[in-house]
Amino acid sequence: MVAEPAAGTGSARRASPMGWWRRQSLRFRVTAAASAVLALALAASAWVLVGVLSQSLIATIDESAYQRAHRVRADADADRLPPELSNPDGTLIQVIDATGRITHATVGTDRLVPLLGPQARQSAIRAREARFLDGRPYGIPGPLRVAAVAADRGQVVIAARSFDEVGKSVAAAGRVLFLGTPILIVLLAGASWMIVGRTLRPIASLRRGAAEITGTARSRRLPVPEARDEVHSLATTLNDMLARLEAADGRQRALVSDAAHELRSPLASIRLQLEVALDHPEGQEWRDTAEGVLEDAMRLSRLAEDLLALARLDERGGALARREPVDLDALVRQGTERYADNPVLVRRAVPDEQITVTGDALDLGRVLTNLIDNAVRHAASAVVVELRVSGSEALLTVTDDGPGIPEADRERVFDRFTRLDSARSRDEGGAGLGLAIVRETVRAHGGGVHLADAGPGLRAVVALPLRQDSSIK
Ligand SMILES: Nc1ncnc2c1ncn2[C@@H]1O[C@H](COP(=O)(O)OP(=O)(O)O)[C@@H](O)[C@H]1O
Ligand SMILES: [Mg+2]
């Protein structure tokens, strides 16, 4: 599942257990870690269980031994003890008098040797606690719990109960745990191995799907698992990313092919003019040829500039190269000066106040030029450039009285390489990149642009957010 490390891996790293662990599959690591934690937890709980069990069983034994001892003491104090005590519950009793002689005992109990010697008796009485005693010297197999109680006239009552049963039950419980715990761990390890394998399966198929995606294949998507889990959201997120990459790739391809297409006709035209001129040098008007070639060269250079502007906008991904205060008033004045000797009238309707926005003066100048170029090209008699403030926005409008653009096409013309013009105006126009540059530049400035009907003609409206802190800088 996991690739072997490269052959060059240092021997020091290979030897380290952490390195070994990291090279194992995720499935193995999860299973091993879960099983190890469970094994520790089970071992600890088994240990606690056995301890608590034996403690409580010992307490039970001790209690019954003391109960019996107290009953016998009451009888001894009242001098009502028969010489031979009955033994209904298996508790051995010895009653020892002040001289250390055994005066009474249960049936079958040693009548000569006390279970506890004089010192042990005294300490047991003081401690009020039963203690362990090996029963074999007294003919009893296994350990005993022995309790001692003081009675009147210096007598001592000793009660003993066999510990054997407790030992047996604790040992049985221990055996069950000792065998059951490993079985439980093995079962859990198997289950976790299977569950982790099942969980990782969609990831493996994601990986396979990703490996199958090649640069050329179109519309490839990763397999999305049915379960609505983390892998599902990973797969959908990756697919969204693939879709975006594919779209960007598609746009790039389209741009390249459109650009190549646009380059072809001026180049063909230059080539044709030069070929004709060279084939028939006599009677050739070289000046006309040069002018024709120059015109085509201008088209080519305009196209190259537009493509470069778009490439820069794409590169920056909607951000501005410069953020500086731009005086729109001055920008419009400079922008319209170029059209001073144009047959089409250019008027400015600029109020007195200064209108400043934040951005790149060069880029905004290009926006204005593109719009005025379009308007001048289509206008019948006049073009009006207007600048005003509306709320927190500066509104820049370029209005002409030409044919306008039908409602249905007013969004479409913002697309790259989209031209609606007839063959006549195409000669003057560009490659259909002007409005695309306008829109992307305005968006990078946080504004918007749309086309409206000027009845007759077209009005391009650019809205830019006003500079907030114009007083500061
Ligand atoms: N003022 C206008 N009046 C009429 N049509 C226009 C006007 N401005 C733009 N258009 C149309 O929108 C198209 C796209 O404009 P643009 O992106 O600037 O490209 P280009 O100027 O290179 O043709 C133009 O080809 C033209 O058909
Ligand atoms: Mg244009």
Query: Domain containing 80 — which CATH number?
Result: 3.30.450
Residue 3 falls within a domain, yes or no? no
Please check whether residue 2 lies inside any domain of the structure. Answer: no
Tell whether 181 and 158 lie within a shared domain.
no
Looking at the structure, tell me whether residues 411 and 432 fall in a common domain. Answer: yes
Q: 255 lies in a domain?
A: yes
Is 9's pLDDT higher than 60? no
Check pLDDT > 60 for residue 395. Answer: yes
| Cα 382 from Cα 201, distance rounded (Å) | 70
Residues 350 and 276 grouped into a single domain? no
CA 439 to ligand 1 center in whole angstroms: 13
Instruction: Write the pLDDT tens digit of every residue in 167-189.
Output: 888 899 999 999 999 999 999 99
**DSSP 8-class letter at 112:** S
Question: At residue 348, does pLDDT exceed 80?
Answer: no
- The rounded Å distance from CA 405 to ligand 1 centre is 8
What's the pLDDT at 352?
65
Query: In this predicted structure, what is the pLDDT of residue 406?
Result: 93
Q: How crowded is the C-beta side of 350, counted as CA atoms within 13 Å? A: 19
As a whole number of Å, the CA-based R_g of the chain is 51
Assigned domain for 215 exists: no
Res 400: pLDDT:
92
Q: How many whole angstroms from 465 Cα to the centroid of ligand 2?
A: 24
Q: For residue range 104-129, what is the model confidence (pLDDT) as tens digits?
A: 888 878 888 898 888 989 999 998 88
Tell which atom from ligand 1 comes closest to the C-alpha of 433.
17
Pocket test for ligand 1, best of 300, 310, 374 (most atoms within 8 A of CB): 374
Q: Does 34 have pLDDT greater than 80?
A: yes
Distance of CA 406 from the midpoint of ligand 1 (Å): 12
Using DSSP's 3-state secondary structure scheme, residue 300 falls into helix
Which numbered atom of ligand 1 lies nearest the CA of 419? 25
Q: Which atom of ligand 1 is nearest to the CA of 398?
A: 1
158 and 178 both lie in a single domain:
no
Q: Name the pLDDT band for 229 (thresholds 50, 70, 90).
A: confident
Q: pLDDT > 90: what percent of the chain?
A: 48
Cα–Cα distance for residue pair 10/20, rounded to 1 Å? 12
Q: Within this chain, do residues 421 and 341 fall inside the same structural domain, yes or no?
A: yes
Please indicate, yes or no, whether residues 238 and 185 belong to a single structural domain of this protein: no
Q: Which atom of ligand 1 is nearest to the CA of 435?
A: 17
Q: Is the pTM of this model over 0.75?
A: no
CA-nearest residue for atom 20, ligand 1, is 432
**Does residue 219 belong to any structural domain of this protein?**
no
Say which ligand is closest to the CA of 414. 1
User: How much is the mean pLDDT over the chain?
Assistant: 87
Same domain, 380 and 426: yes
Tell me the residue range of the domain where 237 lies.
230-310
What per-residue confidence (pLDDT) applies to 221? 84
Q: Measured between alpha carbons, how far is 399 from 387 in angstroms, rounded to an integer?
A: 11
Q: Which of 310, 333, 368 is the last residue of a domain?
A: 310
Domains contained in the chain, number: 4
Q: Do 327 and 427 belong to one domain?
A: yes
- 148 CB-contact burial (10 Å; exposed 0-12 / middle 13-18 / buried 19+): buried
Residue 426 CA to ligand 2 centre (angstroms): 10
Ordered DSSP codes for 345-384: EEEEE--SS--EEEE-HHHHHHHHHHHHHHHHHH-SSEEE
My answer on whether 252 and 389 are in the same domain is: no
CA dist 263 and 59 (Å) reads 101
Are residues 399 and 362 part of one domain? yes
Taking CA atoms only, the protein residue closest to ligand 1 atom 23 is 432
Q: Are residues 342 and 455 in the same domain?
A: yes
Tell me the per-residue pLDDT of 37-82, one tens digit each, with 9 for 90 and over. 999 999 999 999 999 999 999 999 999 999 999 999 999 888 888 8
pLDDT in tens, 357-370: 999 999 999 999 99
CA-CA-CA-CA torsion for 207, 212, 218, 219, nearest 10 degrees?
A: -40
Ligand 1, atom 11, lies closest to the CA of 420
pLDDT of residue 469: 65
**371, 452: one domain:** yes
Would residue 85 count as lying in a domain?
yes
CATH of residue 280: 1.10.287.130
Q: Residue 138: pLDDT band by 50, 70, 90 thresholds?
A: confident
Taking the centre of ligand 2 as the mean of its atom positions, its distance from the CA of residue 91, in whole angstroms, is 114
Ligand 1 pocket residues where CB is under 6 Å: 370, 374-375, 378, 400, 402-405, 413, 418-421, 429-436, 458
The pLDDT of residue 423:
47
CATH number at residue 417: 3.30.565.10
Give a yes or no: residue 364 inside a domain. Answer: yes
- Average pLDDT of span 380-393: 89
Segment 273-303, tens digit of pLDDT? 999 999 988 877 889 999 999 999 999 999 9
- Rounded Cα gap, residues 143 and 136, in angstroms: 8
In a domain, 346, yes or no: yes
Residue among 421, 433, 441, 462 whose CB has most ligand 1 atoms within 8 A, to mutate: 421
Whose alpha carbon is nearest atom 3 of ligand 1? Answer: 404
Question: Hey, which of 435, 439, 453, 462 would you mutate to test ligand 1's pocket, going by the most ligand atoms within 8 Å of its Cβ?
Answer: 435
